[in-house]
């Protein structure tokens, strides 16, 4: 099976920094450590309200990283301008609501097909791999393929929430849906990524889907780093992903 890439999301290093308005902890330092620990990419979400990652963080990440940057952003003109200035390896389009604590659902592509097709075209022309963050839903996947996205990232949040709430029947149904929709997206020629809410306890079944090429994981790893350090936390996630991939 192909190598499963691990994208480490460093947003919440910036959340801790911003809690005190200080210069530390520095998300760029975390990103460099993540690289050393074997991350295949770094993900950062520049939110409209700049609640964690800032414009300056993005500048510094672009300058410092040797692995690809996956720039997460809402489909706004401001973010498009920023992405076109930096031309990151990948741009992941996510829905964004100011009042939400985190990215709660997938993007509504099917109802916004025309606008999104026009929105992503210049990004793709600038050489960015455009990824669309969506629920594991056939209509959304078909729409993502129609608008010319290269990648879909399937939202694993509901699966992880059901696991945490010990609703195992619902969790397993969601996992089955993710598996089926990974295969469906792949069959349409889309590269398949997955992420949101993944932990040591929930990563293995998703890592085992043969069509999934990349997982993006942040909040759990940054939290775990408090106890074990960032590099060991990433190394353990990498080990669990590789073991699941190898079927061991």
103 near ligand PXP, judged by CB under 6 A: yes
211 near ligand PXP, judged by CB under 6 A: no
163 near ligand PXP, judged by CB under 6 A: no
Question: Catalytic: 3?
Answer: no
Contacting residue, 4, 8, 9, 158, with ligand PXP by CB under 6 A: 9
Contacting residue, 91, 109, 141, 217, with ligand PXP by CB under 6 A: 217
Separation between Cα atoms, residue 112 and residue 57, nearest integer Å: 30
Catalytic residue, candidates 12, 35, 45, 86: 45
Report, in Å, the least distance between residue 188 CB and ligand PXP: 19
> Within positions 78 to 97, which residues make up the interface with ligand PXP, using CB under 6 A?
92, 94
Per-residue HEC secondary structure of 4-61 comes to CEEEEECHHHHHHHHHHCCCCCCHHHHHHHHHHCCCCEEEEECCCCCCCCCHHHHHHH
Window of 49-57, 79-87, 112-120, 193-201 that interacts with ligand PXP by CB under 6 A: 193-201
Q: At what angle do helices 230-246 and 27-36 cross, to 10 degrees?
A: 40
Helix (H) or strand (E) holding 212: strand 212-217
Separation between Cα atoms, residue 152 and residue 9, nearest integer Å: 17
140 near ligand PXP, judged by CB under 6 A: no
- Across the strands, what pairs with 44? 71
Report, in Å, the least distance between residue 138 CB and ligand PXP: 19
Window of 113-121, 179-187, 194-202, 228-236 that interacts with ligand PXP by CB under 6 A: 194-202
220 near ligand PXP, judged by CB under 6 A: yes
State the DSSP code for 110: G
HSE, side-chain direction, 13 A CA sphere, residue 138: 5
218 near ligand PXP, judged by CB under 6 A: yes
> Within positions 12 to 41, which residues make up the interface with ligand PXP, using CB under 6 A?
none
State the DSSP code for 197: S
Window of 13-21, 171-179, 212-220, 224-232 that interacts with ligand PXP by CB under 6 A: 212-220
SS3 71: strand
Main-chain phi, psi angles of 9, to 5 degrees: -90, 120
SS3 194: strand
Catalytic residue, candidates 196, 211, 214, 224: 196
Residues that bind ligand PXP (CB under 6 A): 9, 11, 45, 72, 92, 94, 102-103, 133, 153, 195-198, 216-220
**Residues annotated catalytic, as ranges:** 45, 72, 196
């Amino acid at each position: 099976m192909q190598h499963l890439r691990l994208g480490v999301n460093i947003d919440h290093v910036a959340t801790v920094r911003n809690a005190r308005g200080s210069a530390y902890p520095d998300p760029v330092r975390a990103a460099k450590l993540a690289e050393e620990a074997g991350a295949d990419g770094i993900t950062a979400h520049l939110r409209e309200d700049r609640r964690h990652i800032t414009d300056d963080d993005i500048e510094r990440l672009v300058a410092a990283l040797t692995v690809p940057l996956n720039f997460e952003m809402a489909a706004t003109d401001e973010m498009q301008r920023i992405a076109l200035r930096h031309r990151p390896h990948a741009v992941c389009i996510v829905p964004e609501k100011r009042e939400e604590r985190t990215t709660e659902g997938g993007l509504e592509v099917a109802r916004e097909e025309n606008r999104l097709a026009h929105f992503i075209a210049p990004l793709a022309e600038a050489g960015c791999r455009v990824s669309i963050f969506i629920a594991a839903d056939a209509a959304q996947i078909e729409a993502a393929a129609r608008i010319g996205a290269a990648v879909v990232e399937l939202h694993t949040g509901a699966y992880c929430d059901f696991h945490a709430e010990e609703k195992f029947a619902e969790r397993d149904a969601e996992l089955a849906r993710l598996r089926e929709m990974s295969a469906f997206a792949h069959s349409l020629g889309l590269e398949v990524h997955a992420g949101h809410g993944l932990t040591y306890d929930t990563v293995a079944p998703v890592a085992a889907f043969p069509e999934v090429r990349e997982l993006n994981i942040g909040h759990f790893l940054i939290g775990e780093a408090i106890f074990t350090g960032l590099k060991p936390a990433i190394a353990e996630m990498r080990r669990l992903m590789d073991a699941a991939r190898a079927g061991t």
